[in-house]
Structure 1
Amino acid sequence: MEAPCRPELVTNKKPFYLTVYGEAYLADSLEILKSIPSHSVNLVLTSPPYALHFQKEYGNATKEDYVDWILPFASEIYRVLTDDGSFVLNIAGSYNKGTPTRSIYHYKLMVELVETVHFYLAQECFWYNPAKMPMPAEWVTVRRIRIKDSVEYVWWFSKTPWPKANNMNVLRPYSKDMIRLNQRGVRATKRPSGHKINSSFDKVKAGGSIPPNVIDDGTPTDFLKFGNNSANDNYTKKCKEAGIKIHPARFPVALPEFFIKLLTDTNDIVLDPFAGSNTTGMVSEYLQRKWIAIEQVEEYLVSSQFRFDL
């Protein structure tokens, strides 16, 4: 086993488990966040319980209370981030109870994070999840008056207007059309939109195409498309073998991988305050980033150890 290379920022609580690069804590995340030194974390990447119109078994605040519930966490996240650090937040939309209309709770949260906590909105990204169920069934599959909701928001916030980021780390293979274009050469022209393209518009030197802000799994589409219903990965198989409940709202590996590559360097510190099955920690581990995971449901932390063969 390699020599440990951990964050060692939490001094008031013993870790639930350790790996070479990381530390997982069974605790209230607000308590742990308050103990972490200011300006010490490079990336906070998380997916808190959503404000859905029905109660989930892992707990979730109502839409009416959601903004007030999450702001104390956000304030601590702002404090612990380095000045060039980022906060990546995955959050889903929701319907208003009893009507086929959409809630705007997540937009209210975005505004509060910018205007009250003083984050900058670096970029809005979108995760297309083809595995999402057609819910609420009342409006989608019974009355057939709404279409399937398959997109979740992934908001990239920063502490200053200039967070550390490098899209060269997440380039994608060129499409066949782009390869043909590069072989033929780029001619100077002006598009109908008014954008000018000159002969120096040469993408071959970059080594790949710049990804869109709609996240997929790297297949030849322009979407950030990740299913989260894997039934045969190591984590899922070992949970079944051990008779342990599988976390019902897991990150697909490609989602944290994309942002960790984009926003951090080797040995930077990544924090997930709502770790669940700790996909963020696992991805950080194999990318050689130090990591801290916090989860208050012991069963989820126990099963998350399968991700590291502990």
Structure 2
Amino acid sequence: MTMTPHNLLANVTAGKVIYTTNSGVQVCGDSLDILPQLPANSVDLIVTSPPFPLLRQKEYGNEDQHAYVDWLVSFAKAAKDALKETGSLVIDIGGAYQRGRPVRSLHQYRVLIALVDDLGYQLAEEFYWHNPAKLPSPIEWVNKRKIRVKDSVNTVWWLSKTDFPKVSLDSVRVPYSESMRRLLKNPESYYRPKVRDSGHSIGKAFGLDNGGALPSNLLSYPNSDSNGFYIRTCKELGLRSHPARFPAALPEFFIKMLTHQNDFVLDIFGGSNTTGHVAEILGRKWLSIEKSHEYAALSGVRFLEGKPLPEIREIHRAIVTGEGPKL
């Protein structure tokens, strides 16, 4: 039997199905309850952005910095059995300052160390997501006192169960620079194969056209979708959109790099279900788990682009009232 989100959930009693699509299922519930009920070795990729440990409580739920590490590690522990041996866990974690001090918290690094040392995950590679559109923050240290620069980079940990998880870098190649394109036209005029002073060996393969350059671990994606379909439609419906969303480009990068067609992608902190929507577009199976019924239901809007507003309103009503429609 082909594994799908629908039969994957056959024996799951925790959580409630909010809506389904051709490729995925949105569930409302606590991931700590649902994860242990998923079949072992069934998930190819977990990509998620958990609520950050902010100093002020947010409406979408966040933990105190001191309790954050144990809290997040508990989810990673519950997720490990469901993850395939070749699977990956990708976690986007933002930084924060300590209360009342211009000194950074180390929570995201403590989480990483706990996941590796205590749970046995491997750090395949660390990534950094740069959001050039992020507003200056925190206000006290950046805007008022002007003693710190704008914080616009999140850490993103790519973790795996083994040293050699599934990965396809050709799927995320980027366009060559202008100078590299000139080199590829006439490699001999640019360099001769030899060992450089640094010890790097520049061979003939350096002049091969691979269809694009390998990306770096610095990912620069603006989080500026204020006029995107999801935000715009939420406003037209008179509803509050989820306040903490990562750009579609972020899960897209990791889904392309770490999964193949029809592989299974899971987001354990679904939010507005950016991950599920991207997975659907890329031809992956997906499951999104979100604790808030309000946000889980509203995330269905992402799959209704092209439909007239009255129809979207009616479908959203059906989702909210528990009819669990297929979108």
Q: TM bucket by the smaller chain? A: over 0.9
1:7·1:22 contact (CA, 8 Å) conserved in 2? yes
Q: Which aligned runs of 4 or more in structure 1 are off by greater than 2 angstroms?
A: 4-8, 189-194
Alignment-derived partner of residue 65 in structure 1? 67
Tell me the alpha carbon deviations over residues 32-57 of structure 1, each in whole angstroms, 9 at most, x when there is no partner. 11110111100000000011222221
Q: Find out whether 1:274 has 2:274 as its counterpart.
A: no
The alpha-carbon distance between structure 1 residues 98 and 66, as it changes in their structure 2 partners (threshold 3 A), is same
Alignment-derived partner of residue 8 in structure 1? 7
What letter is aligned with 1:60?
A: N
Tell me the alpha carbon deviations over residues 204-230 of structure 1, each in whole angstroms, 9 at most, x when there is no partner. 0x1111111111xxxxxxxxx112231
Q: Find out whether 1:209 has 2:217 as its counterpart.
A: no
1:88·1:155 contact (CA, 8 Å) conserved in 2? yes
Q: Find out whether 1:90 has 2:85 as its counterpart.
A: no
Alignment-derived partner of residue 141 in structure 2? 139
Cα distance in 1 between the residues matched to 2:274 and 2:17: 17
2:41·2:83 contact (CA, 8 Å) conserved in 1? yes
Q: Which deviates further from its counterpart, 297-306 or 183-192?
A: 183-192
Cα distance in 1 between the residues matched to 2:195 and 2:99: 49
Tell me the alpha carbon deviations over residues 215-246 of structure 1, each in whole angstroms, 9 at most, x when there is no partner. 1xxxxxxxxx1122312211111101111101
2:108·2:155 contact (CA, 8 Å) conserved in 1? no
Tell me the alpha carbon deviations over residues 164-209 of structure 1, each in whole angstroms, 9 at most, x when there is no partner. 00100111111111101112204213334321212232340x1111
What's the % identity of the aligned pairs? 47
Q: Find out whether 1:303 has 2:298 as its counterpart.
A: yes
What letter is aligned with 2:153?
A: V
The alpha-carbon distance between structure 1 residues 126 and 145, as it changes in their structure 2 partners (threshold 3 A), is same
**Mapping 1:174-193, distance limit 5 Å:** 174-185=176-187, 186-193=191-198
- SS for the counterpart of 1:157 is strand
Q: Which deviates further from its counterpart, 230-239 or 82-91?
A: 230-239
Tell me the alpha carbon deviations over residues 272-307 of structure 1, each in whole angstroms, 9 at most, x when there is no partner. 010000000000001111100000112211221111
Q: Find out whether 1:229 has 2:224 as its counterpart.
A: yes
Tell me the alpha carbon deviations over residues 239-278 of structure 1, each in whole angstroms, 9 at most, x when there is no partner. 0111110111112011111100000011110000100000
Q: Find out whether 1:50 has 2:45 as its counterpart.
A: no
Compute the displacement of 1:132 (Å). Answer: 1.8
Cα distance in 2 between the residues matched to 1:211 and 1:232: 28
Q: Find out whether 1:198 has 2:203 as its counterpart.
A: yes
Aligned length: 297
Cα distance in 2 between the residues matched to 1:211 and 1:240: 36
Cα distance in 2 between the residues matched to 1:140 and 1:305: 37
Alignment-derived partner of residue 218 in structure 1? none
Tell me the alpha carbon deviations over residues 31-88 of structure 1, each in whole angstroms, 9 at most, x when there is no partner. 1111101111000000000112222211111110011111221111111100000000
Alignment-derived partner of residue 33 in structure 1? 35
Q: 2:150 aligns with which of 148, 151, 171?
A: 148
Compute the displacement of 1:14 (Å). Answer: 4.1
User: Where does the alignment leave 5 or more consecutive residues of structure 2 unmatched?
Assistant: 305-326
The alpha-carbon distance between structure 1 residues 6 and 34, as it changes in their structure 2 partners (threshold 3 A), is closer
Tell me the alpha carbon deviations over residues 79-138 of structure 1, each in whole angstroms, 9 at most, x when there is no partner. 110000000000011111111111111111100000111000000011000122211111
What letter is aligned with 1:122?
A: A
Superposition TM-score, scaled by structure 2 size: 0.88
What letter is aligned with 2:163?
A: P
- SS for the counterpart of 1:201 is helix
Q: Which deviates further from its counterpart, 116-125 or 131-140?
A: 131-140
**Mapping 1:57-136, distance limit 5 Å:** 57-136=59-138
Cα distance in 2 between the residues matched to 1:7 and 1:125: 32
What letter is aligned with 2:232?
A: K
Compute the displacement of 1:5 (Å). Answer: 5.3
Rg (Cα) greater in structure: 2
Q: Find out whether 1:286 has 2:281 as its counterpart.
A: yes
Q: 1:252 aligns with which of 247, 251, 254?
A: 247
- SS for the counterpart of 2:286 is strand
Q: Supply the RMSD in Å over aligned alpha carbons.
A: 1.4
- SS for the counterpart of 1:126 is strand
Superposition TM-score, scaled by structure 1 size: 0.92
